[in-house]
Amino acid sequence: MKHIQKLFTIFIIAILALIMEFGLHHPLWAQILVTLTGAILAMSMFVEMVKTLKSGKYGVDLLAITAIIATLAVGQYWAAMIILLMLVGGDTLEDHAAHKANSDLKSLLENSPQVAHRLDHENNSTHNIEIDDIKVGDWLLVKAREIVPADGHILKGSSFFDESSLTGESKPIEKETGDDVMSGSLNGDTVVVIQADKESKDSQYQRLITLVRESEAKPAHFVRMADRYAVPFTLIAYIIAGLAWFISKDPVRFAEVLVVASPCPLILAAPVALVAGMSRTSRNGIIVKTGDVIEKLATAQTFAFDKTGTITQGNLSVDKIVTAQNVDKAQMIELAASVENNSNHILGRSLVSYAKEQKISFQNVSSVKEVTGNGIQAEVNGKIVKVGKSSYVTGVDSKIEQTQTAVFISIDDQYAGYITFTDRIRPEAKQTMQALIQDHHARVMMLTGDQQETAAKIAQQAGITEVHAELLPDEKIKLIKNAPKNAHPVVMVGDGVNDAPALAEADVGIAMGAHGATAASETASAVILKDDLSRVEKAVEISADTMKVARQSVLIGIAICTSLMLIASLGVLPALLGAMLQEVVDTVSILWALRARHPRI
């Protein structure tokens, strides 16, 4: 808005100057007006440049300031006016381009739910409450086409949910009773009742909004590339301009060269490309908090992965089903799953999911009694069924529980069998590791606190040869900190609270945020919103492409500017025309930078 107002002011001054010279025939007044305007803007730019230099960065506005002063000094005040319009117009164009590139992030904020419908399940009445007033355990009514206000699971009903704003997955996902739903997902055409598993501030969508606001508050940093090209470009411009003046003995030639030596491709193009790349990552279910993360990901040399919840799925699934003699396996699963369908315990939810996959029907239960930390009991078709720890179900401890995660089942106080659970590797894990190693030539390793034997087994399945197991959080940090210089940047990928210190220590920390801990998401530099490990490789691919486009946009702008400088040094490019051509250079550079929003074909 500020740049638009400044552009409007400069434009009005330009019109007034035109009227003075060509309408009222007072060229001196027009020259004075333009000179005063140019002097004020040049002085303000000089002050900003000094502040930039004091902060330890190079002020690339020096060329623009010199061009304004030079054109005014030799009487080319209309060229100076064009430069003023070009500079302010370039800033306005940058704002527009950045806004366009950042639109995908901002759309998340616009969809933020504001109210929820709390359901009193005793009298079946509802009343509206603020999002911040949601408590864990609240029953919430989600109407058709409404956004889910908090993370929870469905108690009644089924519907299709659009999670595209969270995960980038465009296909609506069908959810039934017992299934988890994420805040921020859009309910379909039926009403459902959910139970809140988290308060609104801890839910997926609110965490995402926090991350988006962080990324908006921290603009893309692209100091290194600007520094790399700005100093030599400025020196070349002054050398060409100086030689042109020296050879021609005409100071106007000096001004004509500097008019086309605009640093705008450096100032505008690279940051626009980075913001465009951040927009593209968001559309792929990856939130990148700052622009320098893109630069680091593009050149990452080492990837360290946590095991549980990162390389593995993080949710236990049925592994073995063992029955006692004369017990029917299918019946045991049917009875146990029917009982566990009334529990929120992680193993119970895993067993219910397995039963659904096997198309096993659930029976009506009654007299449900759950003993926290031990198990659950209920009556099913006249039979008393217990599911839980061995000591709760059979009255004695089992050695099986010392080595495996298991639940035991009894029917009418008769031991029926047990079910073990295991954490399986993500189906996309091996392909992701191969892509990082083969396509990006990266070093890949696993850092986990799990036992060596378990870690080695998972690593082998994932195609990882370097395994560091039985690590405490500070030992993970030490391994990252002590990585050789040529192994940086180091990327750490994790999902749990125990991963947060390592994520903060790494050059880039990536949190698997779909079901991960808030601490991991807050300390990470980037967050993957979809429960898909391949997004790590996708983030690297997008980052590398973004940096390539950024570099191209800068070099294209510099090449065009250098060509124009050489032409201007011959005296065949008037200052006025040169100033106009500069706007073309800026437009080409920025439009090229915006290509980072879309994948290359």
**Which of 36-50, 316-330, 386-400, 411-425 has the weakest average pLDDT?**
36-50
Q: How confident is the model at residue 366 (pLDDT cuts 50, 70, 90)?
A: confident
Q: Taking 60 as the threshold, does the pLDDT of residue 216 lie above it?
A: no
CB contact at 8 A, 327 and 416: yes
Q: Which has more confidence, 385 or 185?
A: 385
Of residues 384 and 585, the one with the higher pLDDT is 384
- Output the pLDDT for position 491: 92
Q: Is the pLDDT of residue 372 over 80?
A: no
Percent above pLDDT 90 for the chain:
12
C-alpha–C-alpha distance, residues 511 and 526, integer Å:
6
The residue ranking higher by pLDDT, 451 or 359, is 359
Least confident of 35-44, 76-85, 312-321, 529-538: 76-85
* pLDDT of 92 over the 70 cut: no
- 569: number of Cβ within 10 Å: 22
What pLDDT, on the 0 to 100 scale, is given for residue 292? Answer: 80
- CA 550, 553, 557, 562 dihedral sign is positive
Mean pLDDT of all residues in the chain? 78
- Phi/psi at 141 (5° precision): -90, 125
Helix (H, G, I), strand (E, B) or coil at 240: helix
Give the helix/strand (H/E) hosting 139: strand 139-142
- Identify the residue with better confidence: 419 or 498: 419
Most confident of 19-33, 75-89, 251-265, 332-346: 332-346
Confidence bin at 348 (pLDDT 50/70/90): confident
> Looking at per-residue confidence, does 217 or 53 come out higher?
53
Condensed to tens digits (0 to 9), the pLDDT of residues 46-74 reads 676 666 556 555 555 666 666 667 666 66
Q: Which residues contact 546 (CB under 8 A, 6 or more apart)?
A: 273, 274, 276, 277, 280, 294, 298, 596
When comparing pLDDT for 538 and 505, which is higher? 538
Name the catalytic one among 138, 151, 306, 495. 306
306 is catalytic: yes
- For strand 490-494 and strand 508-512, is the pairing parallel, antiparallel, or unpaired? parallel
Highest-scoring range by mean pLDDT, 59-63, 111-115, 144-148, 518-522: 144-148
**Phi and psi for 139 in degrees, rounded to 5?**
-90, 130
**Residue 120 CB neighbour total at 10 angstroms:** 10
Q: How far is CA 202 from CA 91, 134, 142, 501, 512, in A?
A: 38, 11, 19, 20, 15
- pLDDT at res. 262: 65
pLDDT tens for 99-122 read 554 555 455 555 566 788 998 877
Residue type, 8: F
Evaluate whether 195 touches 139 at the Cβ level (below 8 Å).
Answer: yes
Q: Residues 6 or more apart from 96 whose CB is under 8 A from it?
A: none
Q: State which H helix or E strand residue 54 sits in.
A: helix 27-54
The predicted structure's pLDDT at residue 130: 85
What is the average pLDDT across 549-558?
Answer: 85
Global confidence as pTM: 0.63
Whole-number pLDDT of residue 557: 82
The pLDDT score that the predictor gives to residue 252 is 78
What is the tens place of the pLDDT at every residue in 460-510? 999 999 999 888 777 888 898 888 888 889 999 987 655 767 887 888 888
Residue 220: pLDDT band with limits 50, 70, 90 = very low
- pLDDT for res 541: 93
**What is the average pLDDT across 157-167?**
74
Closest C-alpha to 355, from 390, 381, 321, 384:
321
Range 148-168 average pLDDT: 79
Q: Is the pLDDT at 38 greater than 70, yes or no? A: no
- The reported pLDDT for the residue numbered 106 is 54
The whole-angstrom separation of Cα 276 and Cα 267 is: 15
pLDDT at 90: 56
Give phi and psi for 260, each to the nearest 5. -95, 0
Nearest of 10, 601, 561, 600 to residue 276 by alpha carbon: 600
Residue type at position 21: E
Most confident of 14-18, 398-402, 434-438, 472-476: 434-438
Q: What is the mean pLDDT of residues 385-407?
A: 83
% of the chain surpassing 70 pLDDT? 75
pLDDT at 476: 84
- Does the pLDDT value for residue 408 go beyond 90? yes
**How far out from the chain centre does Cα 561 lie?**
35
Euclidean distance between CA atoms 215 and 207, whole angstroms: 13
Residue of higher predicted confidence among 455 and 22: 455
Give mean pLDDT, residues 276-284: 84
Beta bridge partners of 181: 152
Lowest average pLDDT, out of 173-177, 223-227, 318-322, 379-383, goes to 223-227
User: How many Å is the maximal CA-CA distance in the chain?
Assistant: 111
Strand partners, 365: 380
Query: Cα–Cα distance between 584 and 51 in angstroms, integer?
Result: 29
Residue 154 to residue 158: CA distance in whole angstroms:
8
**C-alpha to C-alpha distance for 473 and 504, rounded to whole angstroms:** 12
Mean pLDDT of 121-135: 83
**Does the structure show a pLDDT above 90 at 234?**
no
pLDDT of residue 46: 67
Higher-pLDDT residue of 181 and 399 is 181
Structure confidence at residue 496 (pLDDT): 60
The answer on pLDDT for 219 being more than 50 is: no
**Which pLDDT does position 417 carry in this prediction?**
92
